[in-house]
Every structure is written in structure tokens, then in C-alpha cells.
């Protein structure tokens, strides 16, 4: 299998081979410039990792309303939802509710929150329209971004403060309660630019099942309430602001802040908790609302120095509060209570970075960062005065460096590492080395090896801690002493080729990742322990082709295979009962779709019309932390967007679009069997002046 993949890479190189007598400047052309992979501005062909760039054009053509859904355009990415308001985004496995191995950045600020070690996508105080582009590092990037970047990094880059000079109002209305309103304002000045967004988004989540899933019958189905997913709504109100002060040609000052107030419908039963209804655990999980408030502040300064050098300083503060109130069934007694529980988390981070060109062929970026995470949770159960509280503070220190050395016109070496120390007494070093060989100016081979670590989350080191949305009323905290970071060693071979005669680009990646010291919940120790190991293999491919400047298509494909140190599934044994102890069954291998693909076709038509369609495919899988009832069959989906731009009056322009998702109505479920996605549509109207 590996030899077949290598043969594909070699044949692709031969197809674009040209004369060797080229000069150094030929290697800096045509490919998109990316910023995230090494912290240096590089052509994509010089980056040390495989990357996917989702630009503004693709974002609009997709028709997506949520940021998480945009990740469907990345090969090998798994996108789903725990509830309609709680997205799950994972890459290469462990497709559980929290997806702890994926780092997410917004303009360099980490939104990976410490308690569960996950990203609360619904609470991000930005909209899809605020995003300029997304750079996705497909593979470990701990050398640049530290712990919790073991499977990759999603770097969201918002629009510059000066990107808008005017006003914009948009309204979206459609099926399943879709009701979005957004207003944007911006102004460019001689020394100060700003933009701001006010938005309200709402929908009713998924459709309801009418019959039990996956071959179950009403006679054997122990959770009839699971058919009802009507409490699956989401209403968010958000605001964000970005200002850019540029008093001279040397210094730039950036200020950003925003907040999000989100009301999420959660729970899986419209009945009172009780023995006949407690299918999700001892306490049950009745319908209720989860209230979430988040806010952030980010300040940045960049100074341009001589000979292309640059010094930057960034500070950010991110905070999130969640709370809920619900009745429970506990130890044979029903308490209408309600039980009230809440969680407060915050992160403060300061980072300094220096880019230093050493020679004409060598650039160095290095820096340091300090981060402090805080979390506190409370659970109260009146009238019996059962109260639980937890509070945690973690400090982390980081040093990083990356060197880009053009050894020869055709050879480029990327070498870097991150050094981290935290309050758990751990000191980790995450090195990365990548060698890029430019066969021709438009054909590049890349070989790389990297080591990455994932720091245990607070929920793992201090189990159980309060986690709204997953009711926990512990009598005491069971600590996990000596819990060590997970370790991932990744090997990859990549190919990036541009074929001007065919107006096409090809991106291929062959990888092998080895996970050791994996963290999992032990049913015997009643806490989290190390001991899981796994191995991931796969091939990813992305092809872009322009038929003409107004007519293009992007196709992504991923084939993945994984196995852990548990018992392998028998051939054809797709339906497995996910165990809380992965050593008892190889649920890791079952949790990764073997094959997935996406296609995005964009066409600009006469009379200011445009058309786009997207197709998505995912093979069957078993979610990592769900039972057999939540087995996911094959998913197929086709979306269509038809839009037209028009002039209202002089200086006032409009855009109207019709989006139909799952056009062929091939109903499928996501992550939880009650998450049924039928055909739905909505209309988007935008006016700019």
C-alpha cells in the first residue's frame, strides 16, 4: 500500500518535470502565501506541513452559516454535532464530543479552552462573514504552537480593520427556524481603520427521528425519548470590533474585542428524570437550556525593522461562563430542585516574537509566551444542601524557534522546536524537521518528521469536574496523579504541483502517525490514566482546476486507517458497543471514516448571477465515545447555492442567494442517532452601501 502511494507521488513529479537550469527567484511564484505553518510568510510550496487554504471565495460559495461546517472542505476532517448548537471538529480520529487534539486560533489567539481541552465553536464571537480566510495545518504543528496541536491547527484569519469602508446589513431566513440578522460597519482613515459586527443567529437544530435507528425496534429500544430531538435550538447574540492604528510606516497597533451570549437547547428527554428514562446515566438528561457567555480582548503591536526583520507583541484575554438548571434522578429519589451548576473559565496569554533574516537564504523566527488558565465550577442541589465546588489554575511557559534555510535553489530546510513547561511539572520539547525539494519551480516534494504532545486537560487531571451540558454531581474529586502528556510522532511525504497548461494544482500527502501514552477513562481506576497507543495511516489528495476564470472546481479526498492496542474488530464487524475502556475493544479504529471526500464547484454566470454546488461523502463509522445505537451509516449530501448581485441605487448594492442543503434529501444522522439531517433551505439577502 505504501509503495503504491509513493509511486503516485513520483509519477506526479515526472508529469511536471522541466529543465534544471532555473534561478532562485523561480521558487517564490504562483503558490498561495501562508502565514501559519512556520510563523513565517511562505509560499505554500515552502511550508513544512501540508496545508489547506479556504479563501473568501470558497467561504461564500459553500453557503455555510457556521464556521465549523467550513471544515468539511478540508480533506480528512470530521465535522459533526453533539447537539445542533455544539459542533465537533476533529482530524484523524478520536471523533468524540471534545476532540482534544486540535488547536484553533483566531488571529493568533487560541480558543482551545482548558477545562475539557476543547473548542466551543458555538461561542466564538465572530461570524462567517468576518472571516477573510482559514489556513488549516494538516498534521502536528506543536513546533510552532505547542501542546494540543498534535493533530493539526485551524488558523482563522479575520478581515483587516481597513477591509471595509461603509455599511452592510444581511438577513437570512429558512427552514428549521433559521433566522439570522447581521450588521457590519467599517471606516478607513489616514492613521486608523476599524470595523465592527453586530449579529443574531438562530435555528432549531436537527430534525426528529420517527423510528428507532440502526435496526432497533420500539420493543428493544430502551430510550423512546431519544426519538425526540426537539430541544435542539440555538440563539446567539454577538458583537466584535477590530481597530488598526498605523501612525507611520513602521508601527501598527491592533485592538480587538467582542462577546457572545448563547442559549443552547440541550438534553435528550421531555420527561421528568427517572429509572425508566435515565438512559444517559444515573441522573438522566431532561430538556433544559445551557446558557453561555464568552468575551475576549486582544492587543497587538508590530514594528517593521531593517532588512525585513520584524518584532511583534501580543496579549489576549479570553473568558467563558456556562450555567444550567435542571431536575435530576439521583440514588432512587427524584429532585425537581432544580440542580444548578456553572463553570467559569479564562485564559490570559502574552507572546513576543522576532523575525530575523540572517542571510539572503536563511530566516529565523523565535519568541516566548506565558499563559495562565483558570477554571472554577459549582454544583448546588437544593433543598438538601448538596454542594460541590472546584477551582484550578495552570501556568505554562513556552520558548520557540524556527529556521528556514534555503540550502540550494532547489532545497529548503525547515527546522524548529517548541519548549514548554507547566504547573504539572512537565517539560516537553516538540521538534520538527521538513525538507522541501523543488523538482521544478512548480513541482515540490516534501518530507517531514515531527513530535507533538497533548497536555492533559483539567477535566482529566481532576476528575470529575463540573462540566455544564454533562451533568455531574460528584461527592469528591478523584485526582489522576502522575498523568503524563500524550505523545504523537508523525512522518509524512507530500507533493505539491502546479500545472499551468491544465490550470490545475495537485496536493498529495502520505502520512503515518504513532500515538503513545494516550489518555483514556479507566472503568476500574475511576479516573483518567495513560496507556492507550494507536497508529494512523492515510493518503490525502486535493485537486483544483480552473476551466476558465469564471468556472472552477476543488476536489478533496482522504483515505484513513487506524488501530489501537485494543482488540481489532472482526471483518465486517462495524456495529460495536463503544467501551469506556479502549483497551477492551478497538473503538479507535472504528471511529475514523475510512474514506471521505468533498467537491466544490463554482461558476460565475452572465447578468451578475453565480452558481455553486458542493458534494460531501463520508463512509460508515462508530463515534469514539458513543454506543452501537449511534453507529453512523454512510453519509452523502449535495448542497446548491444560486445568487445574484444587483444595484439598488447609486452607491447601494445588494446580493441575494438561495441555499439548499442536502438537496437530494438523503437523510443521514451525525454523531448521535437523533441528529437527523433532512433537506433544508434558506435565503440570504445582503445590502451594502
DSSP-assigned letter for residue 142: H
Q: Which CATH number does the domain 2-688 belong to among 2.40.170.20, 2.40.420.20, 3.40.50.300, 1.10.150.120?
A: 2.40.170.20
pLDDT digits (tens, 9 = 90+) for 340-370: 888 899 999 999 999 999 999 999 999 999 9
Alpha helix ranges (H) inside 539-609: 587-590
Average pLDDT, integer, range 26-30: 44
Contact 156, 183 (CB under 8 A): no
* The predicted structure's pLDDT at residue 470: 63
CA neighbor of 468 nearest in space, from 161, 262, 684, 160: 262
Whether 478 shows a pLDDT value over 70: the answer reads no
CA distance 289 to 279: 19
pLDDT interval class at 5 (50, 70, 90): very low
* The predicted structure's pLDDT at residue 568: 36
Extents of the domains making up the chain = 2-688
CB atoms within 10 A of CB 318: 22
Contact 260, 240 (CB under 8 A): no
The SS3 assignment for 5 reads helix
Whether 314 shows a pLDDT value over 90: the answer reads yes
Q: Of 335 and 531, which is predicted with more confidence?
A: 531
Contact 356, 363 (CB under 8 A): yes
Contact 498, 31 (CB under 8 A): yes
Q: Give the mean pLDDT of the chain.
A: 85
pLDDT interval class at 450 (50, 70, 90): very high
Average pLDDT, integer, range 441-468: 85
* Burial class of 545 by CB neighbour count within 10 A (0 to 12, 13 to 18, 19+): middle
CA distance 664 to 339: 44
Q: Which helix (H) or strand (E) holds 58?
A: helix 56-62
* The predicted structure's pLDDT at residue 627: 75
Whether 385 shows a pLDDT value over 50: the answer reads yes
pLDDT digits (tens, 9 = 90+) for 99-135: 778 899 999 999 988 777 788 898 999 999 999 999 9
CA distance 85 to 206: 10
CA neighbor of 71 nearest in space, from 57, 88, 47: 88
pLDDT digits (tens, 9 = 90+) for 591-609: 889 999 999 999 999 999 9
Q: What is the CA radius of gyration of the chain?
A: 25
Per the structure block, which three cell numbers stand in for 6?
509513493
Contact 673, 209 (CB under 8 A): yes
The SS3 assignment for 283 reads coil
Percent of the chain with pLDDT over 70: 82
Query: Which is it for strands 103-106 and 152-158: parallel, antiparallel or unpaired?
Result: parallel
Percent of the chain with pLDDT over 90: 57
Q: Of 528 and 505, which is predicted with more confidence?
A: 505
- Quote helix, strand, coil % in the chain, to nearest 5: 10, 55, 35
Per the structure block, which three cell numbers stand in for 534?
494507536
CA neighbor of 235 nearest in space, from 158, 174, 181: 181
* The predicted structure's pLDDT at residue 82: 84
DSSP string, 162-176: GG--EEEEEEEEEST
* The predicted structure's pLDDT at residue 160: 93
Give the least confident one: 51-65, 207-221, 302-316, 430-444: 207-221
Whether 466 shows a pLDDT value over 80: the answer reads no
CA neighbor of 347 nearest in space, from 322, 316, 373: 373
CA neighbor of 379 nearest in space, from 306, 428, 323, 321: 323
CA 450: distance to chain centroid?
Answer: 21
Model pTM?
0.90
pLDDT digits (tens, 9 = 90+) for 170-217: 999 999 999 999 999 999 999 999 999 999 999 999 987 777 777 776
CA distance 284 to 268: 9
* The predicted structure's pLDDT at residue 465: 67
CA neighbor of 301 nearest in space, from 250, 347, 348: 250
The CA distances from residue 386 to 200, 236, 262, 340, 380, in Å, are 37, 32, 28, 11, 6
Cα angle, residue 351 at apex, residues 348 and 352 outer, rounded to 5° = 160
Beta strands, E only, 441-475: 443-454, 462-463
Contact 316, 295 (CB under 8 A): no
pLDDT digits (tens, 9 = 90+) for 207-252: 877 777 777 766 555 555 556 667 889 999 999 999 999 999 899 9
CA distance 55 to 32: 10
* The predicted structure's pLDDT at residue 580: 40
Strand partners, 471: none
* The predicted structure's pLDDT at residue 447: 97
CA 603: distance to chain centroid?
Answer: 28
Average pLDDT, integer, range 377-393: 74
The CA distances from residue 642 to 61, 127, 382, 677, in Å, are 9, 21, 54, 21
DSSP-assigned letter for residue 441: T
Whether 156 shows a pLDDT value over 90: the answer reads yes
pLDDT interval class at 424 (50, 70, 90): confident
pLDDT digits (tens, 9 = 90+) for 541-600: 999 999 999 999 999 999 998 888 763 333 233 334 333 444 345 777 888 899 999 999
CA neighbor of 530 nearest in space, from 488, 576, 484, 565: 484
Amino acid at each position: 500500500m505504501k509503495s503504491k502511494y509513493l509511486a503516485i507521488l513520483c509519477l506526479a513529479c515526472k508529469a511536471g518535470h522541466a529543465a534544471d537550469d532555473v534561478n532562485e527567484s523561480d521558487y517564490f511564484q504562483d503558490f498561495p502565501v501562508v502565514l501559519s505553518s512556520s510563523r513565517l510568510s511562505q509560499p505554500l510550496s515552502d511550508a513544512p506541513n501540508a496545508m489547506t487554504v479556504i479563501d473568501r471565495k470558497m467561504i461564500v460559495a459553500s453557503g455555510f452559516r457556521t464556521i465549523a461546517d467550513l471544515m468539511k472542505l478540508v480533506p480528512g476532517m470530521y465535522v459533526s454535532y453533539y447537539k445542533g448548537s455544539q459542533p465537533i471538529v476533529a482530524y484523524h480520529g478520536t471523533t468524540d464530543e471534545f476532540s482534544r487534539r486540535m488547536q484553533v486560533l483566531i488571529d493568533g489567539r487560541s480558543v482551545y479552552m482548558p477545562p475539557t481541552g476543547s473548542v466551543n465553536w458555538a461561542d466564538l464571537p465572530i461570524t462567517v462573514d468576518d472571516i477573510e480566510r482559514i489556513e488549516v495545518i494538516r498534521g502536528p504543528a506543536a513546533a510552532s504552537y505547542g501542546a494540543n496541536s498534535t493533530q493539526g491547527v485551524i488558523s482563522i484569519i479575520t478581515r483587516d480593520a481597513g477591509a471595509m469602508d461603509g455599511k452592510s446589513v444581511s438577513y437570512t431566513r429558512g427552514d428549521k427556524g433559521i433566522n439570522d440578522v447581521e450588521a457590519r460597519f467599517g471606516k478607513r482613515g489616514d492613521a486608523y481603520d476599524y470595523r465592527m459586527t453586530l449579529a443574531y443567529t438562530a435555528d432549531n437544530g436537527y430534525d426528529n427521528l420517527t423510528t428507532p435507528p440502526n435496526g432497533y425496534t420500539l420493543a428493544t429500544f430502551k430510550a423512546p425519548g431519544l426519538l425526540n430531538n426537539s430541544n435542539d435550538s440555538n440563539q446567539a447574540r454577538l458583537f466584535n470590533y477590530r481597530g488598526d492604528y498605523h501612525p507611520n510606516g513602521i508601527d501598527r497597533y491592533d485592538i480587538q474585542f467582542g462577546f457572545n451570549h448563547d442559549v443552547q437547547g440541550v438534553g435528550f428527554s421531555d420527561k421528568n428524570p427517572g429509572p425508566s428514562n435515565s438512559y444517559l446515566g444515573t441522573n438522566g438528561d431532561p430538556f433544559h437550556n445551557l446558557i453561555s457567555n464568552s468575551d475576549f480582548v486582544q492587543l497587538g503591536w508590530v514594528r517593521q525593522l531593517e532588512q525585513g526583520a520584524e518584532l511583534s507583541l501580543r496579549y489576549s484575554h479570553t473568558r467563558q461562563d456556562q450555567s444550567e438548571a435542571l431536575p435530576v434522578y439521583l440514588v432512587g429519589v427524584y429532585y425537581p430542585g432544580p440542580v444548578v451548576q456553572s463553570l467559569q473559565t479564562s485564559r490570559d496569554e502574552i507572546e513576543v516574537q522576532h523575525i530575523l533574516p540572517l542571510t539572503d537564504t536563511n530566516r529565523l523566527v523565535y519568541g516566548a509566551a506565558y499563559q495562565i488558565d483558570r477554571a472554577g465550577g459549582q454544583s448546588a442541589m437544593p433543598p438538601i444542601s448538596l454542594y460541590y465546588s472546584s477551582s484550578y489554575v495552570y501556568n505554562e511557559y513556552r520558548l520557540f524557534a524556527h529556521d528556514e534555510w534555503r540550502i540550494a535553489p532547489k532545497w529548503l530546510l525547515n527546522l524548529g522546536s517548541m519548549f514548554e513547561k507547566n504547573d504539572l511539572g512537565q517539560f516537553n520539547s516538540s521538534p520538527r524537521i521538513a525538507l522541501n525539494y523543488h523538482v521544478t519551480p512548480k513541482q515540490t516534494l516534501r518530507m517531514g518528521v515531527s513530535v507533538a504532545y497533548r497536555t492533559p486537560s483539567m477535566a482529566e487531571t481532576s476528575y470529575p469536574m463540573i462540566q455544564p451540558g454533562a451533568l455531574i454531581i460528584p461527592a469528591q474529586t478523584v485526582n489522576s496523579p502522575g498523568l503524563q502528556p500524550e505523545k504523537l510522532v508523525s512522518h509524512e511525504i507530500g507533493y505539491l504541483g502546479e500545472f499551468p497548461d491544465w490550470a490545475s494544482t495537485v496536493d498529495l500527502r502520505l502520512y503515518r502517525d504513532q500515538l503513545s501514552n494516550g489518555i483514556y477513562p479507566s472503568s476500574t481506576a475511576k479516573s483518567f490514566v495513560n496507556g492507550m497507543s494507536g497508529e494512523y495511516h492515510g493518503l490525502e489528495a486535493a485537486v483544483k482546476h480552473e476551466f476558465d476564470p469564471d468556472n472552477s472546481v476543488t476536489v478533496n479526498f482522504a483515505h484513513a486507517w487506524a488501530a489501537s492496542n485494543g482488540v481489532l474488530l472482526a471483518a465486517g464487524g462495524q456495529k460495536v458497543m463503544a467501551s469506556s475502556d479502549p483497551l477492551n475493544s478497538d473503538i479507535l479504529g472504528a471511529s475514523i471514516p475510512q474514506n471521505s471526500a468533498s467537491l466544490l464547484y463554482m461558476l460565475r454566470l452572465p447578468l451578475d448571477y453565480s452558481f455553486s454546488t458542493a458534494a460531501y461523502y463520508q463512509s460508515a463509522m462508530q463515534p469514539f465515545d458513543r454506543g452501537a445505537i449511534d453507529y453512523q451509516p454512510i453519509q452523502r449530501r449535495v448542497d446548491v447555492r444560486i445568487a445574484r448581485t444587483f444595484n439598488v441605487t447609486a452607491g447601494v448594492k445588494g446580493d441575494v442567494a438561495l441555499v439548499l442543503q442536502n438537496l437530494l434529501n438523503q437523510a443521514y444522522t451525525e454523531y448521535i442517532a437523533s441528529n437527523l439531517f433532512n433537506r433544508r433551505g434558506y435565503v440570504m439577502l445582503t445590502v451594502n452601501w
